[in-house]
């Protein structure tokens, strides 16, 4: 029975992952902005067999409450084994191009809030010489593209931060897992036309996250085929890439 | 617009667009025009299709709310699949009081069609075990409904084909079982008379009874088939394994492999195939054999298929069934899955509940255009003359006249219908019925 803190727990991928954790009896502590929706998720996970489920309403951008969140989670569950960071927004790229404030706000949510929280988590796990940090980044962070580079830049920052963190915490026995989903059919992507073989369900992503944690992986592309796709995309010379419409 | 929202029979083909719902507190979606709540799309015909409007995809409402293993009361959102409920509750000794032949339907869909199963003679239909649900109307009202709580809204929504508004969550009463196993007996019977005798006897001794019949057999073999009866059983000693995962029909073949030749061969072989009389079966195998072949409807090819399920009252049942089977056999348009069962006398609680006392026969036919439609119209006549009815959840073609005469309460449902909700089925049959 693991003790798991999930930040952004009302997101589709987080809910699907939490269901798998609940089914095996893990203890859960959930944080998200909307308390009534957190409560719906809590009821669901309790019915599905979670060892315990507690919730805390929290805006992940409110850095002043990060320490309190970790303390509350640790106290409620009697410890902390896994932190899954799943919150984020899909910015409207065009709106960001027209507004500095929107660009910075979205980077704040997708990157700075994550980094702030992880700094505290890392220190805690390093001191305890154990723990798993699992963070949902994105394939979008692997290369900047004109269609969503604000999102990509934030996710890229997260991926790079995690890479450094992993290097730092390897000696302390702390697993740092970078999760890079491709296209996932969730409410976050409601504005995009879906369908076709590249789109995955949150349940499939969740199963991949759990397997990656169990196997002690460092970076996981979900589904797996995004690894070769992104390898090719990263290998295209910039001189060519800048001409592409991606 | 996507084929992902086609109906299960892939006929009729109407372009659909949908909006996905994710939270039960989100209120009526701001959409101009008509909408139709849609569960997992297992309705065969056009009752799950919007008619120019927008589908409300309810599958994102898939959360449990509460389950009490001491009482067997389960509350969940309307998009939860029956299979998900069983996965949660069977290990704790509880089973759905009523289940249809697929577990891949949502709770909301099961209520909207007041679905029935092999135990209708004991337990009635799905709505008989619904304790309460919340109905969201397009004006934003949320109505808590139950048999003794807003009974008008309850009765019009159970079996109401999704037309009264959006069911956001429901509470069900489950039944106690000892585990996932069933003690199943399979008996071959030579004709319709033998079926009625077996059914009368078995309905007294068994919770679940159903028969497969060879719908291509004629003459003295008319109505021959296999009778399957079962009871929940304690976990057997010795080794019994749960069935393995499902396989999927990967694509829709350009030409359907279901034709006269394969149908005749299948029906003959299935009838003759030697099988042991007693077996212990897992509930997945017994109740949901077709769920192990995902997308099996693709086997009917690009043109799709139509399902036909009717009920005829006890007095006229033997003669009407004989006439129906004669018409089908004469036409040569056989069905793989011809299923025959006697309904019990427990009345459905919905205005438009399909089950009523008598014999119910379900058939599916590859869609071949006019010949298929003509045959079904002839079957309708027999059913109507016998005083029976045709199941709206499976229908894609019955006339408004047949519908109006066999579901005389439809105008009450029409008066309770949410003004913003409409389905292709409802527009089709009610336009006609008004004439």
pLDDT at A93 over 70: yes
- Both structure tokens of A5: 């803190």
**Longest Cα separation, chain A:** 54
Element housing B373 (H / E): helix B370-386
Which of B16, B22, B56, B168 should one mutate to test binding to chain A, selecting the residue with the greatest count of A CBs within 10 A?
A: B22
DSSP state of B115: -
**Longest Cα separation, chain B:** 63
Q: How far is B398 from chain A (nearest CA, A)?
A: 33
Pairing of strands B293-294, B247-248: parallel
Nearest to B110 by CA among B176, B52, B55, B58: B58
Q: Cβ of B64 and A12 within 8 Å? A: no
Q: How far is A44 from chain B (nearest CA, A)?
A: 4
pLDDT at B171 over 90: yes
Q: Cβ of B20 and A187 within 8 Å? A: yes
Rounded (to 5) percent helix, strand, coil in chain A:
55, 15, 30
Residue B229 confidence (pLDDT): 96
Number of other CB atoms surrounding residue B12 within 10 Å: 18
pLDDT at B318 over 60: yes
- Name the more confident of A192 and B362: B362
Model pLDDT for residues B332-341, shown as the tens digit of each residue: 777 777 999 9
Measured distance CA(B239)–CA(B316) in Å, rounded: 46
What residues does each domain of chain B span? 181-406
Model pLDDT for residues A32-91, shown as the tens digit of each residue: 999 999 999 999 999 999 999 999 999 999 999 999 999 999 999 999 999 999 999 999
Element housing B95 (H / E): strand B94-95
Measured distance CA(B297)–CA(B337) in Å, rounded: 12
pLDDT at B433 over 70: no
How many A/B residue pairs have CB atoms within 8 Å?
32
Model pLDDT for residues A131-182, shown as the tens digit of each residue: 999 999 999 999 999 999 999 999 999 999 999 999 999 999 999 999 999 9
Q: How far is A203 from chain B (nearest CA, A)?
A: 12
Tell me, yes or no, if B88 comes closer than 8 A to chain A by beta carbon.
yes
**Would you call B8 exposed, middle or buried from its count of C-beta atoms within 10 A (0-12, 13-18, 19+)?**
buried
Residues 108-167 of A with CB under 8 A from B: none
Is A221 assigned a catalytic role? Answer: no
| Residue located via tokens 């076709």 | A196
Residue B432 confidence (pLDDT): 66
- Residues from chain A that touch B20, judged by Cβ atoms under 8 A, are 187, 190
Tell me, yes or no, if B65 comes closer than 8 A to chain A by beta carbon.
yes
Residue A78 confidence (pLDDT): 97
pLDDT at A21 over 80: yes
Mean pLDDT confidence for B389-401: 96
- What is the rounded average pLDDT for all residues in chain B? 92
- B372 within 8 A of B306, measured Cβ to Cβ: yes
Percentage of chain B exceeding pLDDT 70 = 98
- Domains contained in chain A, CATH given: 3-241 (3.40.50.720)
Q: Cβ of A187 and B22 within 8 Å? A: yes
Measured distance CA(B180)–CA(B171) in Å, rounded: 22
Q: Cβ of A195 and B67 within 8 Å? A: no
Fold of B181-406: Alpha-Beta Plaits (3.30.70)
- Both structure tokens of A219: 């970076």
Facing residue for B66 by CB, picked from A41, A47, A195: A47
pLDDT at B1 over 60: no
Q: Which of A24-28, A127-131, B64-68, B239-243 has the lowest mean pLDDT?
A: B239-243
What are residue B390's phi and psi, to 5 degrees? -115, 140
Facing residue for B88 by CB, picked from A41, A48, A195: A48
- B296 within 8 A of B252, measured Cβ to Cβ: no
Which SS3 state, helix, strand or coil, does residue B193 take? helix
pLDDT at A192 over 80: no
pLDDT at B68 over 90: yes
Mean pLDDT confidence for B392-401: 95
| Residue located via tokens 């109507």 | B384
Rounded to 5 degrees, what angle do the CA atoms B86, B88, B94 make?
A: 60
pLDDT at B238 over 90: no
Strand spans (E) along B97-196: 130-136, 142-145, 166-173, 175-176, 181-189
The interface pTM score, or ipTM, of the predicted complex is 0.92
Q: Cβ of A48 and B22 within 8 Å? A: no
Measured distance CA(B325)–CA(A114) in Å, rounded: 67
pLDDT at B55 over 90: yes
């Amino acid at each position: 029975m693991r003790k798991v803190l999930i930040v952004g727990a009302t997101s589709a991928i987080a809910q699907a992952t939490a269901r798998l954790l609940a089914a095996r009896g893990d203890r859960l502590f959930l944080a998200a902005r909307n308390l009534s929706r957190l409560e719906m998720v809590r009821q669901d996970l309790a019915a599905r067999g979670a060892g315990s489920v507690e919730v805390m309403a929290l805006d992940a951008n409110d850095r002043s409450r990060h320490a309190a969140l970790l303390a509350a989670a640790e106290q409620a569950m009697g410890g902390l084994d896994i932190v899954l960071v799943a919150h984020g927004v899909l910015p409207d790229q065009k709106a960001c191009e027209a507004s500095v404030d929107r660009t910075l706000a979205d980077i704040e949510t997708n990157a700075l809030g994550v980094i702030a929280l992880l700094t505290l988590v890392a220190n805690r796990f390093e001191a305890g010489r154990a723990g798993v940090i699992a963070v949902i980044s994105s394939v979008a962070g692997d290369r900047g593209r004109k269609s969503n580079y604000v999102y990509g830049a934030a996710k890229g920052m997260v991926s790079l931060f995690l890479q450094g963190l992993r290097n730092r915490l390897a000696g302390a026995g702390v697993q740092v897992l970078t999760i890079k989903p491709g296209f996932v059919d969730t409410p976050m992507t409601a504005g995009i036309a879906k369908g076709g073989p590249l789109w995955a369900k949150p349940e499939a992503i969740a199963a991949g996250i759990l397997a990656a944690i169990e196997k002690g992986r460092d970076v996981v592309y979900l589904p797996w085929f995004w690894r070769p796709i992104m390898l090719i995309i990263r290998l295209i010379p910039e001189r060519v890439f800048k001409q592409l419409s991606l | 617009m996507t084929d992902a929202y086609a109906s299960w029979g892939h006929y009729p083909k109407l372009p659909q667009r949908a909006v996905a719902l994710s939270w039960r507190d989100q209120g009526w979606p701001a959409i101009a025009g008509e909408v139709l709540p849609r569960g997992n799309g297992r309705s065969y015909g056009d009752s799950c299709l919007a008619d120019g409007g927008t589908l409300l995809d309810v599958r994102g409402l898939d959360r449990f709310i509460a389950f009490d293993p001491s009482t067997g009361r389960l509350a969940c959102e309307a998009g939860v699949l029956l299979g998900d409920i069983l996965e949660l509750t069977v290990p704790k000794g509880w089973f759905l009081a009523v289940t249809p032949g697929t577990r891949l339907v949502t709770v909301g869909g099961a209520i909207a069609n007041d679905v029935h199963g092999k135990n209708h003679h004991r337990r009635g239909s799905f709505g008989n075990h619904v304790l309460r649900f919340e109905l969201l109307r397009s004006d934003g009202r949320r109505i808590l409904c139950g048999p003794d709580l807003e009974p008008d809204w309850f009765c019009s929504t159970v079996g109401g084909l999704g037309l009264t508004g959006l069911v956001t969550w429901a509470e069900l009463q489950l039944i106690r079982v000892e585990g996932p196993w069933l003690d199943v007996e399979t008996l071959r019977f030579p004709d319709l008379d033998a079926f009625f005798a077996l059914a009368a006897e078995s309905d007294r001794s068994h919770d679940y009874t159903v028969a497969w019949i060879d719908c291509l057999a004629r003459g003295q073999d008319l109505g021959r088939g296999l009778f399957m009866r079962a009871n929940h059983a304690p976990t057997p000693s010795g080794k019994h394994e749960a069935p393995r995962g499902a396989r999927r029909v990967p694509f829709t073949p350009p030409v359907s492999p279901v034709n006269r030749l394969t149908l005749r061969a299948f029906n003959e072989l299935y009838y003759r195939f030697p099988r042991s009389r007693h077996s212990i079966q897992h509930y997945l195998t017994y109740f949901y054999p077709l769920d192990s072949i995902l997308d099996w409807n693709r086997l009917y090819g690009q043109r799709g298929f139509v399902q036909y399920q009717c009920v005829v009252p006890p007095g006229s049942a033997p003669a009407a069934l004989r006439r129906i089977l004669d018409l089908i056999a004469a036409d040569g348009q056989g069905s793989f899955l011809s299923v025959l069962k006697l309904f019990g006398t427990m009345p459905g609680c919905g205005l438009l509940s399909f089950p009523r006392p008598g014999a119910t026969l379900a058939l599916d036919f590859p869609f071949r255009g006019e010949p298929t439609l003509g045959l079904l119209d002839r079957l309708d006549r027999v059913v109507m003359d016998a005083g029976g009815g045709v199941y709206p959840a499976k229908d894609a073609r019955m006339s408004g006249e047949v519908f109006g005469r066999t579901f005389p309460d439809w105008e009450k449902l029409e008066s309770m219908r949410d003004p913003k909700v409409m389905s292709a089925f409802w527009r089709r049959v009610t336009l006609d019925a008004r004439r």
